[in-house]
Chain A
């Protein structure tokens, strides 16, 4: 379960403080796939970073599987992220000099299991699952955007996290690859995982069980109303 309670974040801009997220509360149960839509700069990426234990909120609390990651020391929080949360970003953020397989296995460095055979086998299985077997030893530069995003998705899923956070994962993809990614996210939710998708892509949002709209740092609407907003 992912639980954000009254979280706020303010940035110090050149022309003064800018409140990116204003007292947002949101609860995602296990197995839920929630999309947050909104225009650029509305605060949805900030919300996702706070939810992922990457950005300390100025106010409010975040609980991931019942644990507030911000109460953990930095290194333990990092390990916690590695174990519990998978991230997918619009820009893929693959390590440029590692092969597809090594990029996927890099996630296991966080848990110290990267050299174990079962982890290696799982990585190969994910690579195969996302149709990248023939690209296993290729570096990101030689991959298409879709292949890169599928690699990023495989990396996010390697440690079998309970939460998947995605920021515009289909933003750079064609329809076919977008479908693959969204299918994988749906499958993840179906398997009991929690998915928080931040996007302004209607197609992507349509795959979510719940779509929330965010404007000027605040959540406005939800549809269908399976996600709880307070």
Chain B
């Protein structure tokens, strides 16, 4: 016979009282553990959602970047070609060419040998990238009774010491004709039409859209045919040097370099057109970068919104838990205290006789508090199981993205479990303390006087 046996016998004798006490502790602990577990589940879900969103945003940005790069490349290429229509960066003319003729009539009369372009291409020139020899003359198209600018071109002459660049301007094949906007509009030409110019037959190969420049009244044919038609065999009027590095002070370097290779020539710069082209390219790049930046910002905003939304949910849950958990624990403590009080009232006679036959108050307290500790431990274990059950059930309900065991193993939940297992017996003992103290100190004579 021992105090423990006395306690266990009493527990078995008054199962309902003990059971209710255990249930009270279990509910309080379940509430604590469940709340902590669900809050941790919230954090896990938030982390998961943010990771998903982050990945989505990164994928979207990467896709957008690829799109932008592709579109940018296409845009740059298109611009390169479209900008070409605006004119040339550098025009190399014979020294005696009157520039007012060019500006007033769009025509040139001074010539230079065609081999100049070969000479230039075979030189070590570094400041220009594309070379196009041409003849240009304003003529009256007798067969169609219309003034046009006839340009003979042979396409780009490769610069020998460089890797071949993608040509900016395609050559016009012999017998073919490229027609400017005003010309084909007025004459009603279509691609594939056969036309006669200066007694020679040509097939319309390309119709240019409106450019709003001299090009709209221009017709391009093969250089050799143009030279023959204009009586300028092996002569050219100009060399168009494209994509030269001519921004800022570099023009003087170009002039100096070309003058060293082709003496007796003059170089004029189509400055505004070159700048516009550079700006247009820059704008294309900037637009692409801005589009990408907008995509990144939209992604970041999405992430921020998600964080805010999740924070609101977590704060709401934490707020609810911060009210609910102490309330339930307080109510449970009150109930345990009440049950302990009822229990000691029921045991009044028994405690009285135990005191009468010599048990000390501490022994009585030991019996009562041992029962409370037992109640706390069993209730704590049950509460933990219930609380984790809430997590398992809740986790299924909210599609917990990770296994429940992973949430349980997290430090906040483990801390809650340890706290619960300490708190449960402490809570039960504290709640039973006062009723136990009153019972242990009761005067046995008062009980025995009932006789």
In the complex, are the beta carbons of A87 and B356 less than 8 A apart? yes
Which among B6-14, B29-37, B311-319 touches the partner chain? Answer: B6-14
Among residues of B, the one whose C-beta sits closest to the C-beta of A86 is B357
In the complex, are the beta carbons of A54 and B1 less than 8 A apart? no
Do A54 and B448 contact each other (CB < 8 Å), given the known contacts A97-B12, A106-B1, A115-B2? yes
Partner of B357, one of A45, A97, A110, A115: A110
In the complex, are the beta carbons of B3 and A45 less than 8 A apart? no
In the complex, are the beta carbons of A78 and B448 less than 8 A apart? no
Partner of B3, one of A78, A87, A101, A109: A109
Among residues of A, the one whose C-beta sits closest to the C-beta of B351 is A95
**Which residues of B334-378 are within 8 A (CB) of A?**
349-350, 352-363
Chain B residues, Cβ within 8 Å of A96: 13, 350
Chain B residues, Cβ within 8 Å of A167: 448, 451
Q: Does B253 contact A (CB under 8 A)?
A: no
Chain B residues, Cβ within 8 Å of A75: 360-362
Query: How far is A85 from B408 in the complex, measured between Cα atoms in Å?
Result: 58
Among residues of A, the one whose C-beta sits closest to the C-beta of B350 is A95
Q: Does B55 contact A (CB under 8 A)?
A: no
In the complex, are the beta carbons of B448 and A155 less than 8 A apart? no
Categorize the interface residue count of chain B. 20 to 34
Partner of A109, one of B1, B14, B361, B450: B1
Q: Does B160 contact A (CB under 8 A)?
A: no
Number of contacting residues on A, CB 8 A? 41
Min CB–CB distance A119 → chain B (angstroms): 9
Do A109 and B350 contact each other (CB < 8 Å), given the known contacts A45-B451, A78-B360? no
In the complex, are the beta carbons of B358 and A97 less than 8 A apart? no
In the complex, are the beta carbons of B6 and A109 less than 8 A apart? yes
Q: Does A1 contact B (CB under 8 A)?
A: no
A-B contact count (CB 8 A): 98
In the complex, are the beta carbons of B445 and A89 less than 8 A apart? no
Min CB–CB distance B1 → chain A (angstroms): 4
Among residues of A, the one whose C-beta sits closest to the C-beta of B352 is A93
In the complex, are the beta carbons of A115 and B1 less than 8 A apart? yes
Query: How far is A18 from B354 in the complex, measured between Cα atoms in Å?
Result: 28
In the complex, are the beta carbons of B1 and A108 less than 8 A apart? yes
Q: Which of A82, A108, A168 has the most CB of B within 10 A?
A: A82
In the complex, are the beta carbons of A49 and B353 less than 8 A apart? no
In the complex, are the beta carbons of B451 and A102 less than 8 A apart? no
In the complex, are the beta carbons of A49 and B445 less than 8 A apart? yes
**Which residues of A67-115 are within 8 A (CB) of B?**
74-75, 78-83, 87, 89-91, 93-98, 101-102, 105-111, 114-115
Chain A residues, Cβ within 8 Å of B13: 96-97
Query: Interface of chain B, helix or strand or loop or mixed?
Result: helix
Min CB–CB distance B366 → chain A (angstroms): 10
Chain A residues, Cβ within 8 Å of B357: 81-82, 87, 106-107, 110, 155-156
Q: Does B409 contact A (CB under 8 A)?
A: no
Query: How far is A10 from B2 in the complex, measured between Cα atoms in Å?
Result: 38
Chain A residues, Cβ within 8 Å of B451: 45, 89-91, 167-168
Query: How far is A82 from B1 in the complex, measured between Cα atoms in Å?
Result: 16
Query: How far is A190 from B46 in the complex, measured between Cα atoms in Å?
Result: 85
Q: Does A228 contact B (CB under 8 A)?
A: no
Chain B residues, Cβ within 8 Å of A114: 1-2
In the complex, are the beta carbons of B448 and A89 less than 8 A apart? yes
Q: Does B444 contact A (CB under 8 A)?
A: yes
Partner of A55, one of B12, B359, B361, B445: B445
Q: Which of B1, B6, B355 has the most CB of A within 10 A?
A: B1
Chain B residues, Cβ within 8 Å of A102: 1, 5-6, 9
Min CB–CB distance A58 → chain B (angstroms): 13
Chain B residues, Cβ within 8 Å of A109: 1-3, 6, 354, 358-359, 363
Among residues of A, the one whose C-beta sits closest to the C-beta of B441 is A74
Partner of A79, one of B14, B360, B450: B360
Min CB–CB distance A200 → chain B (angstroms): 13
In the complex, are the beta carbons of B356 and A54 less than 8 A apart? yes
Query: How far is A93 from B356 in the complex, measured between Cα atoms in Å?
Result: 10
In the complex, are the beta carbons of B9 and A93 less than 8 A apart? no
In the complex, are the beta carbons of A95 and B356 less than 8 A apart? no
In the complex, are the beta carbons of B1 and A105 less than 8 A apart? yes
Interface string of A197-229 (1 = CB under 8 A from B): 000000000000000000000000000000000
In the complex, are the beta carbons of B445 and A54 less than 8 A apart? yes
Query: How far is A91 from B2 in the complex, measured between Cα atoms in Å?
Result: 24
Query: How far is A187 from B100 in the complex, measured between Cα atoms in Å?
Result: 155
Could you list 12 further interchain pairs (A-B, Cβ under 8 angstroms) beyond the known A46-B449, A78-B355, A159-B358? A49-B448, A54-B444, A55-B443, A83-B358, A91-B451, A93-B356, A94-B353, A95-B350, A102-B1, A106-B6, A110-B360, A167-B448
Q: Which 10 A-B pairs have the closest CB atoms?
A: A82-B358, A110-B358, A97-B13, A105-B1, A93-B353, A55-B445, A75-B360, A54-B445, A114-B1, A97-B9
10 chain-A/chain-B pairs, Cβ below 8 angstroms: A75-B361, A82-B359, A89-B448, A93-B350, A95-B354, A106-B354, A109-B3, A109-B354, A110-B359, A167-B448
